[in-house]
Amino acid sequence: MKKIILNSLILLSIAFVWSGCKDDNYGNYPGGTVSAFIPMFDLRNLYKGSDVSLTNPIMFGSDSIRGIVVSDHTSGNLPTGLLFVQDKLRLGQLRGIAIPIGTEAAKYVSGDSVHIKLSGGLLKRVDGILQVLNISAGDIKKKGSNKPIAANRVPSSFILADPGRYESTLVSIVKGTYNPPLAPTDVLSGDKILNDGFENITLHTEATATFANLKPPFSGNYTGIVVTKSAADGKLTPQIRLRNATDITTLSSTVDVPEIIISGFIADVIGGDGNNEYIQFRATKNIDFAVTPFSVVTTNNAGASTPATYPVNGWALGGLRTFKFNLTSGTVSKGEFFYVGGASKLINGPSSTSIASSKWIRSFNYTTTDGDGFGTKNGGILANSGNASGMAVFRGTSVVETSQPIDVIWIATGGLLYQASPALGFRVGNTDFYDAIDPITLKPQPFYRQGTNTISLIYTTPADVGFFNQLGGVFDTGLGKWVKARSQRYYTLTKTSALSAIENDESTQIK
């Protein structure tokens, strides 16, 4: 069995903009004249584990840095006396540095533009933080105020993998919740563990900070400076330090846990697809569908699918574009796999292994029977053409244009999917891949292909091979969120593949 892995972090990282400061005077000078300003990228690279005396030759003929201040000591939460400055002069690579200047550091605030003379300074790691020592107040010249600092969303896993890259820069941890969950009486003071769906990272708040006794939200964005500490083995451990209370943006004060998670699917079996496609799910809680019904809707946007229009009714468009399965009977237990799809219940098309013994909540011959409420009988509920296809889970069996799914997966991007004006499209839910509200700008973006909702899986080729698309990742029911985003792994099934080929330890995990 051949396995190919596509990490979703690669997909997600497309949406992240490595941003920093903007100043019309910034950048390397053209021609043969050496700039007086060394980029912080190059400055940090001078340090190889031992102290560096900063001279013009060592700094390639430069003697200064220029950047944007990101520190603000007014709330008392940053390391005392350190001025944090960042730039992105070298190849657009954002880097930062700390300058210990004592009480003078409190005279600067985020957005100040500064030039700092470094000749005679000492590049040294102190208390885990790379700093330039021996800089006096007179070596620093303020050149401007209120310079914009663009939001820099960075997954916590990126910071943990390479702390030095992000050290002393301003980052945003987006959709952060606490692991373990906080008690109702807990406040920010001390070390708290934030999880943004990628990894756990420490949020540190000094007990004397003005916002130390603030009660944090269930879910929020946290903008702060990456401060590093050195372990006994020399390894850097990063933590996030907020500058003030406004560095927290509340996204949600309540928990909304999806009862059903999409964990895999097969859209192109060996042989005819009709009546043989299926979607695999896992339950995050015990469900009796007769008591608490759900529905699953698929969309096929191949060129021949009709109606050939933007989705005026969203997922309820119907015709050959969307097809609905009602889940109104049967039971599943928390963590159990279950399936929705064609009546054949075969692992990989005609004459392949039967998986009828698995938990099938809804299956019928969709080549001869219309969907439950909408959708015309057809030979393929998921596209194989290169145009987009998708699948979504809804609470209840009534799906209309305004219905928001609790989970949704998209493959590819082609077809009539989203129209900006008037706004028409397929709605998304708040998942590991999608956000109904942009978590950075807080602007509504309810549709796929709108705003940051551009992540899609890839089509598996060549056709007619029998790839099962398995979606890894970890959903924590206690935290009510994805603690590890899903990733696309696809397996080449044969006609004799066993059920264990699609139900294994690399499947979506429910904690």
Task: Please report which confidence band the pLDDT of residue 422 belongs to, taking 50, 70 and 90 as the band edges.
Answer: very high
pLDDT in tens, 373-389: 999 999 999 988 789 99
- Note the pLDDT of residue 15: 43
- Note the pLDDT of residue 32: 59
Residue ranges of domains in the chain: 18-144, 156-252, 255-419+454-511
Q: Answer whether 18-144 and 156-252 agree in fold.
A: yes
Average pLDDT of the segment spanning 95-103 = 98
Token digits of residue 487: 């990733």
Give the Cα separation of 402 and 444 in Å (integer).
Answer: 14
Task: Please report which confidence band the pLDDT of residue 255 belongs to, taking 50, 70 and 90 as the band edges.
Answer: confident
CATH of 156-252, picked from 1.10.3470, 2.60.40, 2.40.50, 3.30.70, is: 2.40.50
Give the Cα separation of 168 and 163 in Å (integer).
Answer: 10
Q: Which of 279, 390, 297 is nearest to 338 (CA)?
A: 279
Q: Which of 425, 295, 309, 426 is nearest to 371 (CA)?
A: 295
Average pLDDT of the segment spanning 158-165 = 96
Token digits of residue 290: 């007769």
Average pLDDT of the segment spanning 72-85 = 98
Average pLDDT of the segment spanning 65-81 = 97
- Looking at the predicted structure, is the pLDDT value of residue 8 above 70? no
pTM of the complete model: 0.79
- Looking at the predicted structure, is the pLDDT value of residue 332 above 90? yes
Give the Cα separation of 207 and 432 in Å (integer).
Answer: 33
Token digits of residue 382: 């998921």
Q: Which CATH architecture has domain 18-144?
A: Beta Barrel (2.40)
Average pLDDT of the segment spanning 309-315 = 97
CA 105 to chain CA centroid, nearest Å = 34
Give the Cα separation of 39 and 92 in Å (integer).
Answer: 10
- SS3 of residue 337 by DSSP: strand
- Note the pLDDT of residue 315: 98
DSSP state of 49: S
Average pLDDT over the chain, rounded to whole? 92
pLDDT in tens, 179-230: 998 888 999 999 999 999 889 999 999 999 999 999 999 899 999 999 999 8
Task: Please report which confidence band the pLDDT of residue 5 belongs to, taking 50, 70 and 90 as the band edges.
Answer: very low
